[in-house]
């Protein structure tokens, strides 16, 4: 199992975004929001292929780093494909490509609606383009509420065995006097309780505390438990992260720290 990663420097949030197709009020700029709601996301105006306009681009303003890419709270089907490209020069004029995922399966699984792409190494560039093709999408449009594109923090040591996938089931249960039970399902939210027993002190100040400050503002965090997993789209969570314990000392010398957190997907 590979070491987990966290993404908290989302270039989507600070870049200039444009799209090939969008509905008024549901523009690609909505990807800079934090709500995982289709009503506040990006929706194409009937385009379900990249050739028709199902793509978006970003200009980070300066050369920056990318390693993980994701689309969340989407209407993509299992047949959807994506293509992520990072460029060092403007896409329309003499494009110099520094990363190209190629056209690959979006990896979307029914009931999850998200696509996660993790690169083995950092790539640098100022411009990014994401092409989406889902030609048999029954909705007749592409809808993406949230997106991530940026670097990641990979701790020196992965989480401990106390880490657990802990879904929250939002249901209302009513029991009548006769004993009959009626259930109203409201939502299902994937969450992880994350336990780290060995965080390097250097990582504490360089990565963990900056992550904590970003999360404290209500900014969505990307958590990928295993970047090498064949079920990365089901396991990964993009949402709110809360620290649930004090940061402790594993060793008296302070070389290693302990940390506990909980992350819940944004819905």
Q: 253 pLDDT exceeds 80?
A: no
Task: Judge if 174 and 66 occupy the same domain.
Answer: no
Task: Judge if 78 and 174 occupy the same domain.
Answer: no
Task: Indicate whether 36 belongs to any domain.
Answer: yes
Say how many domains are in the chain.
Answer: 2
Q: How high is the pLDDT of residue 93?
A: 65
CATH number at residue 36: 2.60.120.260
Q: Which of 123, 150, 177 is the last residue of a domain?
A: 150
Task: Indicate whether 157 belongs to any domain.
Answer: no
**Burial code of 1-38, b = ≥16 C-beta within 10 A, e = fewer?**
eeebbbbbbbbbbebebbbbbbeeebbbebbbbbebeb
Q: 129 pLDDT exceeds 80?
A: yes
Task: Judge if 27 and 129 occupy the same domain.
Answer: yes
Task: Indicate whether 159 belongs to any domain.
Answer: no
Q: Which of 90, 124, 150 is the last residue of a domain?
A: 150
Q: 1 pLDDT exceeds 80?
A: no
Task: Indicate whether 155 belongs to any domain.
Answer: no
Task: Judge if 47 and 128 occupy the same domain.
Answer: yes
Q: How high is the pLDDT of residue 137?
A: 98
Consecutive H or E run containing 213? helix 209-216
Confidence of residue 194 (pLDDT cuts 50, 70, 90): very high
Task: Indicate whether 92 belongs to any domain.
Answer: yes
Range of the domain at 144: 5-150
Confidence of residue 232 (pLDDT cuts 50, 70, 90): very high
State the average pLDDT for the chain. Answer: 94
Task: Give me the mean pLDDT over the 7-22 stretch.
Answer: 97
Which residues, other chains included, contact 206 with Cβ-Cβ below 8 Å and sequence gap of 6+? none
Task: Judge if 214 and 108 occupy the same domain.
Answer: no
Q: 2 pLDDT exceeds 90?
A: no
Task: Give me the mean pLDDT over the 180-203 stretch.
Answer: 91
Task: Judge if 138 and 28 occupy the same domain.
Answer: yes
**Chain segment 23-73, per-residue pLDDT in tens:** 999 999 999 999 999 899 999 999 999 999 999 999 999 999 999 999 999
Q: How high is the pLDDT of residue 154?
A: 96
Confidence of residue 175 (pLDDT cuts 50, 70, 90): confident
The C-alpha atoms of residue 45 and residue 43 are separated, in whole angstroms, by 7
Task: Indicate whether 158 belongs to any domain.
Answer: no
**Chain segment 130-145, per-residue pLDDT in tens:** 999 999 999 999 999 9
Q: 98 pLDDT exceeds 90?
A: yes
Task: Judge if 111 and 177 occupy the same domain.
Answer: no
Q: How high is the pLDDT of residue 216?
A: 96
Task: Judge if 9 and 141 occupy the same domain.
Answer: yes
Task: Judge if 146 and 171 occupy the same domain.
Answer: no
Task: Judge if 206 and 144 occupy the same domain.
Answer: no
Question: 108: how many CB neighbours lie within 10 A of its CB?
Answer: 24
Task: Judge if 20 and 68 occupy the same domain.
Answer: yes
Confidence of residue 79 (pLDDT cuts 50, 70, 90): very high
Q: Which of 150, 184, 215 is the last residue of a domain?
A: 150
Task: Judge if 171 and 114 occupy the same domain.
Answer: no
More confident residue, 185 or 141: 141
């Amino acid at each position: 199992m590979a070491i987990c990663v966290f993404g908290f420097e989302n270039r989507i949030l600070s870049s200039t975004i444009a799209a090939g197709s969008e509905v008024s009020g549901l523009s690609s700029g909505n990807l800079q929001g934090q709500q995982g709601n289709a009503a506040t996301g990006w929706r194409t105006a009937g385009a379900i292929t990249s050739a028709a306009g199902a793509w978006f681009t970003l200009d980070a303003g300066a050369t920056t780093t990318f390693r993980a890419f994701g689309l969340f709270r989407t209407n993509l089907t299992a047949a959807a494909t994506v293509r992520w490209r990072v460029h060092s020069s403007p896409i329309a004029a003499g494009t110099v490509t520094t990363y190209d995922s190629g056209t690959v399966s979006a990896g979307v699984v029914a009931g999850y609606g998200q696509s996660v792409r993790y690169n083995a190494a950092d790539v640098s560039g100022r411009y990014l383009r994401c092409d989406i093709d889902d030609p048999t999408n029954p909705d007749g449009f592409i809808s993406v509420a949230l997106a991530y594109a940026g670097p990641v923090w990979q701790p020196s040591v992965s989480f401990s065995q106390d880490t657990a996938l802990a879904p929250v089931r939002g249901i209302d249960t009513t029991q009548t006097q006769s004993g009959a039970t009626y259930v109203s399902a409201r939502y299902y939210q994937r969450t992880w309780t994350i336990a780290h027993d060995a965080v390097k002190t250097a990582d504490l100040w360089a990565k963990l505390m900056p992550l904590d400050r970003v999360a404290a503002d209500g900014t969505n965090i990307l958590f990928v438990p295993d970047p090498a997993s064949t079920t990365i789209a089901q396991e990964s969570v993009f949402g709110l992260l809360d620290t649930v314990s004090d940061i402790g000392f594993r060793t008296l010398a302070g070389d290693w720290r302990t940390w506990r957190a909980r992350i819940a997907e944004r819905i």
